[in-house]
């Protein structure tokens, strides 16, 4: 099984996570294309920096030529500029008007010397969903990005005692935060990791300036998002875990603890925005394989199952036969199950008692998610019974590599077993996007992508 481990000894933020992804092997072009696909007027700048002697990747969001700032610095400058800003009325009198209340006066919005008005746009969850749904990115990555924003929304709603749909995000509704979160989802998807693990999180200390004024570190939304996660403070008077970083951890990470046993295949460092005294302000991402070989077993033709196959994990299979539910609802249930973390979900037509046609619903779940997904099935379907059983899941190692076609970049999904390629196929969503964009047949894009991959492979083999 392909696993990843996040070392959060200097915390985690959206830009640190993106930097670690790129440093660990995610093509920078993939994240840059994702940023442009969101169509929020922003792009990514990716470079190398040193943080306390550690070479790492720094990712910045650029909006109209201006670089995003850490939110502490952003709100501190906002406060400084708000004190300097004054409105002069027609009668010649001067009236001070702090920027922090700009949202209460729509006629003056973004006119108070705001540092980056395009960065600091308030958006609701519905608007953010629409932006993500319109973007030409893989569906799995869309689900992850939406789940991260859902987690953020629920935390904000609880902290401010508001309804989820009425919450208007401040920092996390801005263009740079949307870019951070969606690119994080796309990059995590591209790594092909089966399970994310994480260390205890160093949350920092002191106070932070934000849209709601001065608050202690960690901020209230961060505390809510990190419920159940191990946290500590090393005494550094800075906000080290941002709400965006906390939401990424809450959505992706399944296990917290010490460095797991693995065969390391890659690693990367993502840089934070500032240097810390005596400590590298970086997030380390380590990727590797953990495996339990299956013993050879006889098969009908007398051969044996290859020892290259690996029993990666135990999973729970949930099943129910349903004959009194409309097809539209069945399709909706499958989508919901996948959104909520099912490894797979599908339906098969079956003939039930009294010769009634029905559907067999089958859901593949991680053991720890089985109870939650079972409750979802009971609440969303008409079944009154559910079968559960434990099975071993065998998987191949997966990775994605980009190839260039006449239409644009396409990722090729590779499946390996003990360094032997078992399968290669172009990423469907990449091909679909290019086919629509260039008005060409989807099969032509897929064929060109495979041709480019085979040529690239042949060229590499001759070197």
Question: If DSSP codes are grouped into helix, strand and coil, which group holds residue 67?
Answer: strand
Q: Are 206 and 83 part of one and the same domain? A: no
Of 394, 409, 433, the one marking the end of a domain is 394
3-state secondary structure 121-146: CCEEHHHHHHHHHHCCCCHHHHHHHH
302 falls within a domain: no
Q: Which domain holds residue 327?
A: 311-394
Q: Are 210 and 157 part of one and the same domain? A: yes
Q: Are 167 and 252 part of one and the same domain? A: yes
Reported confidence tier of residue 71, pLDDT bands at 50, 70, 90: low
155 falls within a domain: yes
Comparing CA positions, the residue from 298, 301, 171 lying closest to residue 247 is 171
Q: Per DSSP, what are the bridge partners of residue 397?
A: 416
Can you give the CATH number for the domain in which 448 is found? 3.10.20
Q: What is the pLDDT of residue 339?
A: 87
DSSP assignment string, 28-69: HHHHHHHHHHTTSSEEEEEEEEEETTEEEEEEEEEETTEE--
348 falls within a domain: yes
Comparing CA positions, the residue from 351, 366, 265, 264 lying closest to residue 313 is 366
297 falls within a domain: no
Q: What is the pLDDT of residue 50?
A: 95
Residue 463 structure tokens: 């070197």
Tens digit of each residue's pLDDT (9 = 90 or more) over 310-345: 445 689 999 999 999 999 999 999 999 998 889 999
Can you give the CATH number for the domain in which 354 is found? 3.30.70.1380
Q: Are 21 and 147 part of one and the same domain? A: yes
Q: Are 97 and 136 part of one and the same domain? A: no
User: What stretch of H or E contains 14?
Assistant: helix 14-23
Q: Are 221 and 340 part of one and the same domain? A: no
Tens digit of each residue's pLDDT (9 = 90 or more) over 82-127: 544 444 444 444 444 333 333 333 333 332 223 333 444 566 788 8
Q: What is the pLDDT of residue 309?
A: 44
Q: What is the pLDDT of residue 301?
A: 41
Q: Are 84 and 60 part of one and the same domain? A: no
Any alpha helices (H) in 70-227, and if so which ranges? 71-84, 125-134, 139-160, 175-191, 220-225
Q: Are 181 and 269 part of one and the same domain? A: yes
Q: How far is CA 165 from CA 128, 148, 152, 178, in A?
A: 11, 15, 12, 17
**Count: domains in the chain:** 4
116 falls within a domain: no
300 falls within a domain: no
Q: Are 102 and 250 part of one and the same domain? A: no
Q: What is the pLDDT of residue 207?
A: 86
306 falls within a domain: no
Tens digit of each residue's pLDDT (9 = 90 or more) over 210-263: 666 788 999 999 999 999 999 999 999 999 999 999 999 999 998 999 999 888
Q: Are 128 and 97 part of one and the same domain? A: no
Residue 198 structure tokens: 């994480």
148 falls within a domain: yes
Question: If DSSP codes are grouped into helix, strand and coil, which group holds residue 451?
Answer: helix
Q: Cβ distance 37 to 93 under 8 Å?
A: no
Q: Are 162 and 61 part of one and the same domain? A: yes
Q: How many CB atoms lie within 10 A of CB 151?
A: 20
Predicted TM-score (pTM) of this structure: 0.59
Reported confidence tier of residue 19, pLDDT bands at 50, 70, 90: very high
Q: What is the pLDDT of residue 420?
A: 79
Q: What is the pLDDT of residue 462?
A: 58
Q: What is the pLDDT of residue 353?
A: 84
Q: Are 193 and 264 part of one and the same domain? A: yes
**DSSP code for 310:** B
Of 289, 319, 341, the one marking the end of a domain is 289
Of 394, 426, 445, the one marking the end of a domain is 394
């Amino acid at each position: 099984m392909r696993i990843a481990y996040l070392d959060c000894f200097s915390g985690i933020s959206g830009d640190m996570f993106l930097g670690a992804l790129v440093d660990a092997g995610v093509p920078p072009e993939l994240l840059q294309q994702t940023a442009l696909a969101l169509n929020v007027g922003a792009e990514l700048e990716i470079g190398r920096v040193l943080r306390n002697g550690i070479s790492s990747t720094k990712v910045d969001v650029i909006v109209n030529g201006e670089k995003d700032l850490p939110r502490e610095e952003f709100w501190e400058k906002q406060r400084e500029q708000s004190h300097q800003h004054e409105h002069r009325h027609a009668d010649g009198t001067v009236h001070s008007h702090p920027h922090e209340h700009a949202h209460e006066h729509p006629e003056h919005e973004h006119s108070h010397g705001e540092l980056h008005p395009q960065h600091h746009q308030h958006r609701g969850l519905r608007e953010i969903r629409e932006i993500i749904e319109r973007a030409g990115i893989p569906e799995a990555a869309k689900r992850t990005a939406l789940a991260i924003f859902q987690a953020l929304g629920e935390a904000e709603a609880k902290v401010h005692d508001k309804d989820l749909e009425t919450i208007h995000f401040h920092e996390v509704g801005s263009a740079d935060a949307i870019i951070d979160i969606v690119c994080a989802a796309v990059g995590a998807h591209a790594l092909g990791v089966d399970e994310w693990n994480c260390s205890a999180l160093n949350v920092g200390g002191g106070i932070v300036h934000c849209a709601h004024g001065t608050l202690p570190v960690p901020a209230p939304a961060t505390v809510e998002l990190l419920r159940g996660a191990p946290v500590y403070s090393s005494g550094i008077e800075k906000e080290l875990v941002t709400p965006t970083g906390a939401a990424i951890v809450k959505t992706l990470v399944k296990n917290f603890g010490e460095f797991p046993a693995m065969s390391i295949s890659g690693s990367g460092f993502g840089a934070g925005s500032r240097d810390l005294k005596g400590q590298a302000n970086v997030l380390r991402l380590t990727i590797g394989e953990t495996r339990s070989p299956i013993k050879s077993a006889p098969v009908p033709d007398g051969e044996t199952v290859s020892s290259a196959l690996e029993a990666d994990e135990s999973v729970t299979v949930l099943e129910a036969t349903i004959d009194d539910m409309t097809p539209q609802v069945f399709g909706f249930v499958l989508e919901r199950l996948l959104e909520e973390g099912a490894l797979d979900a599908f339906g098969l037509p079956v003939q039930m008692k009294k010769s009634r046609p029905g559907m067999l619903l089958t859901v593949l779940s991680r053991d720890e998610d089985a109870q939650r997904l079972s409750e979802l099935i009971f609440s969303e379907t008409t079944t009154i019974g559910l079968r559960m059983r434990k099975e071993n899941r065998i998987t191949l190692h997966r990775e994605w590599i980009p190839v260039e076609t006449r239409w644009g970049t396409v990722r090729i999904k590779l499946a390996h077993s003990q360094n032997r390629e078992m399968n290669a196929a172009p990423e469907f969503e990449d091909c679909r996007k290019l086919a629509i964009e260039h008005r060409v047949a989807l099969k032509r894009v897929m064929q060109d992508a495979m041709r480019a991959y085979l040529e690239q492979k042949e060229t590499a083999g001759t070197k």
